[in-house]
Each structure stands twice: as C-alpha cells, then as structure tokens.
Amino acid sequence: MLQTNRYTMKLLIYLVVFVLLFNGCTANNVADSLIQKYCKQSSEYPSAINNPNYYNFCIASLKENPESQKARNIDELIVIGAINAMSNLTNVKRIVEKIIKERKYKSRLSKKLLGDCVKLYSEARDFSKASNNINEAKNGPTLCELEFNGENQQVSPVRKENDVLFTMIDIPYLFNSIAHN
C-alpha cells in the first residue's frame, strides 16, 4: 500500500510538471502566432513594403522582449512595440550625445546638426505625446536624417541607427493602424 502511494505521488508530480510545461508551450505558441499574424498584416502597409526586411525584423524585435510571450492581443503587442521603440530611441540619443561629447564629428555644422538630432529625439521620447500618436515619434529619426541629407550635404553618423529606429517606431504605429481599422 505504501508503495502504491509513492507510485501515485510520482505519477501526480509528473502529470503536474507535464501540464505546466504544456501550458507554457501553448502560451508561447499563442504569442508567437499573434506576432507573426500582425507582423504579416503590417508588412502590407506602404511604409513596410519599402523595407524588405520589415517582416523578419518585426518578429525578431517583438520576440526579443520577454514580455511579448505574455501578449494575448494586438493592444498588448502595441504597448510592447512602443516600449521597444522608446528604448531604442533612448539608445540612439545616447550614441549621438557620445559622438558630441567625444568630438567625433567632422565639422561645426555636423556638431550643430547632431545637437538638433538630440533635441528631436528628446521631443520624440515625450511618451505622453507619442502615446497619443505613435507616428509623432518618427519625427526624431526622420528629421534628423533630413537635416543631414538636405542642403547641408553632410553625412549622418547615425544613419543606420536611425533606419532601425524608424522601423522600430513603425511597428507599434502600424499595429495601431490595424487595431483601429
């Protein structure tokens, strides 16, 4: 009888562990399928069509955030995407500040333009403004690049970072468009 109780306990423990593992895998599959679904839908919007890597980047950037595995709907993915974008915006701003501080710019004009970029990033980081319209946050990297590439004919030292940042901001913006259409 004692042996039967031990066997029953072991079986019960194995069953509980199996259920917990299965439940975790199912939750991850739900989040992964949501991410794939909305990354696919958003990749059909004009700003994403121009970026051939958008779909894969969208999936990778959302999965990179562990909170995405808890997402159960598009609104939760929008929040996660916005958090990712704001984090990336902060990192790009730090890179530009470091370039200015270490005097790694090519001319006084470049220094001025980089200072303007820092202001633009700071404005875009005002999440109270950006949360009302995620698209407003795109102004930071877009205007920064425009200042360098316009009549000034300067080369932006953060062009690649701004391209990534633009796409990071585009993800929650496009998800928001899907959610409200």
pLDDT of residue 2 exceeding 50: no
**Across the chain, what does the average pLDDT equal?**
83
Burial class (CB within 10 angstroms; exposed 0-12, middle 13-18, buried 19+) of 31: buried
* Interatomic CA distance for residues 20 and 71, integer angstroms: 18
pLDDT digits (tens, 9 = 90+) for 136-174: 788 889 899 998 887 777 889 999 999 999 999 999 999
N residues, the chain? 181
pLDDT of residue 10 exceeding 90: no
Please, what sign has the CA dihedral across residues 63, 64, 68, 70? positive
Mean pLDDT, residues 92-101 taken together:
96
In the three-class reduction of DSSP (H, G, I as helix; E, B as strand; rest coil), residue 104 is classed as coil
Q: Do residues 159 and 145 make contact, with C-beta atoms less than 8 angstroms apart? A: yes
Task: Please give the pLDDT value at position 157.
Answer: 93
Q: Do residues 152 and 23 make contact, with C-beta atoms less than 8 angstroms apart? A: no
* Interatomic CA distance for residues 87 and 81, integer angstroms: 10
The domain spans of the chain are: 1-18+27-180
pLDDT of residue 130 exceeding 70: no
| One CATH from 3.90.470.20, 3.20.20.70, 1.20.140.40, 3.40.50.300 for 1-18+27-180 | 1.20.140.40
pLDDT digits (tens, 9 = 90+) for 17-65: 544 444 444 445 778 999 999 999 999 999 888 899 999 999 999 999 9
Rounded to the nearest 10°, the torsion over CA 162, 163, 169, 172 is: -170
Q: Which residue has the higher pLDDT, 97 or 105?
A: 97
Task: Please give the pLDDT value at position 26.
Answer: 45
Residue keyed to tokens 């360098």: 148
pTM: 0.79
pLDDT digits (tens, 9 = 90+) for 134-146: 777 888 898 999 9
Which two structure tokens, joined as six digits, stand for 108? 């006084």
